[in-house]
Structure 1
Amino acid sequence: MRAFGVRGVPVVADGTRWRRACRRRVLWGGGEVLVTVGVVLLLLVVHQLWWTNREAGQGAERKVEALEREWDAGGPADLGTGPAAPTASSAPSASPSGATAGQRSYTAAGASRPGRSQAYAVLSIPRLGLRVPVAEGIDRREVLDKGYVGHYPGTQQPGQAGNFALAGHRNTHGEPFRRLPRLRAADTIEVATGAATYTYAVDTILPRTSARDAGVLRPVPRSVVRPRYGYVEPGHYITLTTCTPEFTSRYRMVVWGKLLSTRPRSR
């Protein structure tokens, strides 16, 4: 409703001014909410992409150093069971399938298997500049989010015949497998324990498969989604798995390697 002054000049009613003031307050309040939400989201991104990496990365480095100090001091040796394998100098060369005649995993007699979420080995990949602890299991909170690489329960231990399978984050929480796509055939992968260092060579890379492709973890690993990737003969294999594409968990990338040599730790 409008009212007119004595000279016919329109005068804005109080109700109109009140409605305009309300609209301004609503717009201003909405802007403040959007800014606040944006700041919170930015902080969450910083936390995920920077702080979790920093915290997990430093923790993983400390664990690697602690394991190596323990081994140098004559602490617990390899975890597992079975007789000793030949040394790197005396072991027979690997066949095309990755198996070696008479080769066995070097383990300490009577040693116990690793406990759940226990870090017991160190994975090193020279091309990626990576040195990270290996822990038993793939529990997200107790293993992967600490920046460790997790050993799939039910798969073999380092150096044993069969498939030694590992999982690691590609993004956030130390992201040990962030640069896994840089690996090429013949790149070396080392797994050190208290008893020996096992050297594998990258052999096959599966760029993408289903997150439920259990075939990649079998003793003779072979994709059930993309069957042309994998093996048909027994051998000594290592399997590295991580999420792909980056910042998603829809698919898995898989890297396979074959055992080249076993070098017992000098004491």
Structure 2
Amino acid sequence: MTAGSPWFRTTNLPDEPEPQPTPAPEPAAGPAPAPGPGPLPGVVPPAQAPYEAETAVYEAIPGPDAYQGVPGPQGPYEAPQPAAYEPSGSAAYASQPPPPLSYEPAPGPQARHAPEPDPVFLPQEPDDETMALRTVDQAPPPPPGPGRAERRRAAKRKGRGAAPEPPAPAQPAAPLSRVEARRAARAAKDSVGVVLSRVVGELFITFGVVMLLFVTYQLWWTNVRAGQETDKAKERIENSWSHDDRKPGAFEPGEGFAIMYIPKLDVVVPVAEGIDKNKVLDKGMVGHYAEGSLKTAMPADKQGNFAVAGHRNTHGEPFRYINRLEPGDPIVVETRDAYYTYEMASILPQTAPSNVAVIDPVPKGSGFTGPGRYITLTTCTPEFTSTYRMIVWGKLVEERPRSKGKPDALVG
């Protein structure tokens, strides 16, 4: 200890060996430890005197009464330096000296007090508005869909033909407010544009269905009905030939009196008096021009032009393919008494309906130059229209009584 210490007297003390100073350990590499806690605020540390040489001697202390009062501080106060220490770990750390601290003298015992406690923060209760916002913002997310493994298992079950798992029951929807219900009701109602578009769409659909039915009737059903009518007409004509002794002469409009054969086209069709559309042509028969200025000769006449008309499309369409006839192809007309065989001579692909000269006794444009026994076939062209007329002419080459049997054109 240093001589002159306020706590010890240095008289009458035996000599003691001089202690050797202990070298301070060298600081190890690494972060410096945090300085120890300093003095509490308001607390004045006791004054300490600097130590002197280690050769000081101590005075023997006979007893407790040997202690003397502690004098006041000698000189200015210096902050104590923290001692070096070694941590419990493998590395030793040396403390670094903290910056010097200065203290003001304490005013007295009254200034000393306990340190203030740390503040305690209590949770604050949120108000209604905060809770409402938190309820909306923190709404639970929707349940996730099936994962990849679930989808694979479902695909395997579907491939094996297994019944799929029933879907999870749907969560009940939250009830709508009155305003939302009104908006939903207005949205469910169709606008005027939607209703009008539906009406127009239904009209178009109805029109399309009607047109489809009409086309089906014209192209298919009229032919079916015409086939039934022509079969009945041929039966009536043949029966009249077998049981009626009346001589051939004038026939009533619409009355059948002959049967026409076109072997190349596989056509067998009755021939009726007149060219009335409803009574003759629409029933699938061929009509004979026999009225007014359009009256033409009969097959039994010694000269003249036997002119007939027939549909090219629909209603039996007996003359649909007369454009395929070539010169020399036979056309046979069977009557009560005989078979009249004509050979196709020429064709006029298109002419106006007003060109009635094509059915004259010596038809113009046919190539015939003088009177004779001719036949003329007329029909509409192009197909499925009645804009123009197609004309086919032929010349009589054989008249064969029915008693002698069918001509070679029908037998072959």
One-letter amino acid of the structure 1 residue matched with residue 296 of structure 2: T
One-letter amino acid of the structure 2 residue matched with residue 155 of structure 1: T
Q: Does residue 206 in structure 1 map to residue 348 in structure 2?
A: yes
Q: What RMSD over aligned residues (CA atoms) do the two structures have, in Å?
A: 2.3
Residue 32 of structure 1 and its aligned partner are, at CA, apart by 1.1
Residue 194 of structure 1 and its aligned partner are, at CA, apart by 0.7
Q: Does residue 41 in structure 1 map to residue 183 in structure 2?
A: no
Kindly report which structure 2 residues correspond to 1:155-234, keeping only aligned pairs within 5 A, or say none. 155-160=296-301, 161-223=303-365, 229-234=366-371
Q: TM-score, normalised by structure 1?
A: 0.76
In the other structure, the counterpart of 2:382 is 245
- The 4+ residue runs of structure 1 with deviation greater than 3 A are 11-14, 16-20
Residue 48 of structure 1 and its aligned partner are, at CA, apart by 1.1
Instruction: Provide Cα deviations, 1:85-142, integer angstroms capped at 9, x if missing partner.
Output: xxxxxxxxxxxxxxxxxxxxxxxxxxx3112221100011001111111011101111
Residue 20 of structure 1 and its aligned partner are, at CA, apart by 6.2
Work out whether residues 204 and 255 of structure 1, in 8 Å CA contact, stay in contact via their aligned partners in 2. Answer: yes
Q: Are residues 77 and 164 of structure 1, via their aligned partners in 2, closer, same or farther at CA, if it must alter by over 3 Å?
A: farther
One-letter amino acid of the structure 1 residue matched with residue 227 of structure 2: G
Work out whether residues 163 and 238 of structure 1, in 8 Å CA contact, stay in contact via their aligned partners in 2. Answer: yes
Q: Does residue 69 in structure 1 map to residue 239 in structure 2?
A: yes
Larger Rg: 2
Residue 19 of structure 1 and its aligned partner are, at CA, apart by 9.2
In the other structure, the counterpart of 1:27 is 197
1:50 to 203, 211, 220: 220
Kindly report which structure 2 residues correspond to 1:101-140, keeping only aligned pairs within 5 A, or say none. 112-140=249-277
* 3-state secondary structure, aligned to 1:139: coil
Residue 29 of structure 1 and its aligned partner are, at CA, apart by 1.7
Q: Are residues 78 and 169 of structure 1, via their aligned partners in 2, closer, same or farther at CA, if it must alter by over 3 Å?
A: farther
Residue 68 of structure 1 and its aligned partner are, at CA, apart by 2.2
**Distance (whole Å) between structure 2 residues aligned to residue 44 and residue 196 of structure 1:** 42
**Distance (whole Å) between structure 2 residues aligned to residue 152 and residue 29 of structure 1:** 50
Q: Are residues 78 and 144 of structure 1, via their aligned partners in 2, closer, same or farther at CA, if it must alter by over 3 Å?
A: farther
- Aligned-residue sequence identity (percent) comes to 49
**Distance (whole Å) between structure 2 residues aligned to residue 75 and residue 33 of structure 1:** 56
Q: Are residues 78 and 209 of structure 1, via their aligned partners in 2, closer, same or farther at CA, if it must alter by over 3 Å?
A: farther
**Distance (whole Å) between structure 2 residues aligned to residue 190 and residue 77 of structure 1:** 23
* 3-state secondary structure, aligned to 1:253: strand
Q: Are residues 77 and 258 of structure 1, via their aligned partners in 2, closer, same or farther at CA, if it must alter by over 3 Å?
A: farther
**Distance (whole Å) between structure 1 residues aligned to residue 330 and residue 245 of structure 2:** 26
Residue 77 of structure 1 and its aligned partner are, at CA, apart by 6.2
Instruction: Provide Cα deviations, 1:188-223, integer angstroms capped at 9, x if missing partner.
Output: 000001111100000111111111111101000114
* 3-state secondary structure, aligned to 1:165: strand
In the other structure, the counterpart of 1:8 is none
* 3-state secondary structure, aligned to 2:260: strand
Q: Are residues 256 and 119 of structure 1, via their aligned partners in 2, closer, same or farther at CA, if it must alter by over 3 Å?
A: same
Residue 13 of structure 1 and its aligned partner are, at CA, apart by 8.2
Work out whether residues 205 and 256 of structure 1, in 8 Å CA contact, stay in contact via their aligned partners in 2. Answer: yes
Q: TM-score, normalised by structure 2?
A: 0.50
Residue 69 of structure 1 and its aligned partner are, at CA, apart by 3.5
Q: Are residues 76 and 208 of structure 1, via their aligned partners in 2, closer, same or farther at CA, if it must alter by over 3 Å?
A: farther
Higher strand share: 1
* 3-state secondary structure, aligned to 1:206: strand
Query: Which structure 2 residue ranges, 5 or more long, are not aligned?
Result: 1-179, 405-412
* 3-state secondary structure, aligned to 1:266: helix
**Distance (whole Å) between structure 2 residues aligned to residue 172 and residue 144 of structure 1:** 10
Q: Does residue 265 in structure 1 map to residue 402 in structure 2?
A: yes
Residue 231 of structure 1 and its aligned partner are, at CA, apart by 2.1
In the other structure, the counterpart of 1:150 is 287
